[in-house]
Amino acid sequence: MPETRTRTRARKAVIPAAGLGTRFLPATKAVPKELLPVVDKPALQYIVEEAAASGLTDVLLVTGRGKSSMVDHFDRKLDLEQTLAESGKDDLLDAIRRPCDLAAIHTSRQPEPLGLGHAVLCAAAHVGNQPFAVMLGDDLIDERDPLLPRMLDLQADTGGIVVGLIEVPREQTKLYGIATAKPTEQEDVVAISELVEKPDPADAPSNLAVIGRYVLPGEIFDVIARTQPGRGGEIQLTDAMATMANEGTPVHGVLFSGRRYDTGDRQSYLRAVVKLAADRDDLGPDFRDWLKSYVDSGFNSTFDSGAGSAG
């Protein structure tokens, strides 16, 4: 890999957010799943904060029917700002202004839910022929363990595809895109020769799973456009990346071992909320005390120490 970077670093992030959120019904009947709070911030805000912290201040949300409130979250709300300013609630004023200062938010529509690959294809006109990041809203990466900047730098070096990878237990390969990979000179980077979408554990070539962070070259759009429906009858991003790997595009994975919170189903969402709340400087001390006592009570539903009621 060349030492000097000769290519452009991606500047745009694409967030596929057209899904119906069926795993969280009825909560998601009228509220987009991306706006469900993880502690006190919508899941989507964490993702846009990560994009901005990685230097990506042009963010495209690929949205669908009934999801326009997602975009409102990133607009100013002047009447509320005025009320908060007049009552001296500066912390809350900062909190509602923060999402507006992160990035320029654009949207594109995915008219039908035809798969992740298809959602990414809906970004083609906005992105053009440049490298770009794809960030899936179900994966929150802890800001103390940044992954995306490393991936963006690597993509600028190779000009190819870079994905985030984690090791998963074998039985979980059917939940992820799985990579066939070999080590490189860089300890945290592997070279990927093949990718397969959600293989059964018995057929999985490894336990290296693609998490929801990708940096892709603009050429991927043409490849997605000729990708046939795959797993689940959907146009899969994994299949388009696999085609590019076969046709000679360099594909690398950055191995991630930092803190990550999955919010994609109810079990993992609950764990994410508990972990992030317990870790917070403001809420954490009271919440941890309460949680410890609650566990010690044997999950007795009438238990309530009363701690933390001020928050």
Question: Site residues (CB under 6 A) for ligand G1P?
Answer: 116, 136, 138-139, 176-177, 197, 209-212, 236, 238, 264
Q: Which is nearer to ligand G1P, 211 or 276 (CB)?
A: 211
Give the nearest distance from C-beta 214 to ligand G1P in angstroms: 9
Give the nearest distance from C-beta 232 to ligand G1P in angstroms: 8
Give the nearest distance from C-beta 86 to ligand G1P in angstroms: 44
Tokens of 171: 């039985």
How many residues are there in the chain? 311
Numbers of helices and strands, H then E, in the chain: 11, 13
- Among positive and negative, which fits the CA dihedral 195, 199, 201, 204? negative
Give the nearest distance from C-beta 176 to ligand G1P in angstroms: 3
Q: Which is nearer to ligand G1P, 129 or 268 (CB)?
A: 268
Identify the helix (H) or strand (E) that includes residue 222. Answer: helix 220-225
Q: Which is nearer to ligand G1P, 84 or 251 (CB)?
A: 251
**Residue 173: CA count within 13 A, CB half-sphere:** 18
Q: Which is nearer to ligand G1P, 134 or 277 (CB)?
A: 134
Give the nearest distance from C-beta 238 to ligand G1P in angstroms: 5
Own/partner long-range contacts of 66-70 (Cβ < 8 Å, ≥24 apart): 66/30, 66/32, 67/17, 67/18, 67/32, 67/34, 69/31, 69/32, 69/35, 70/17, 70/32, 70/34, 70/35, 70/44
Asked if the bond preceding 32 is cis, omega within 30° of 0, the reply is no
Q: Which is nearer to ligand G1P, 15 or 116 (CB)?
A: 116
Give the nearest distance from C-beta 37 to ligand G1P in angstroms: 20
Give the nearest residue (CB) to ligand G1P: 177
Q: Which is nearer to ligand G1P, 23 or 106 (CB)?
A: 23
Between CA 149 and CA 153, with CA 152 as vertex, the angle to 5 degrees is 90
- As a whole number of angstroms, the distance between CA 94 and CA 74 comes to 13
- As a whole number of angstroms, the distance between CA 140 and CA 272 comes to 9
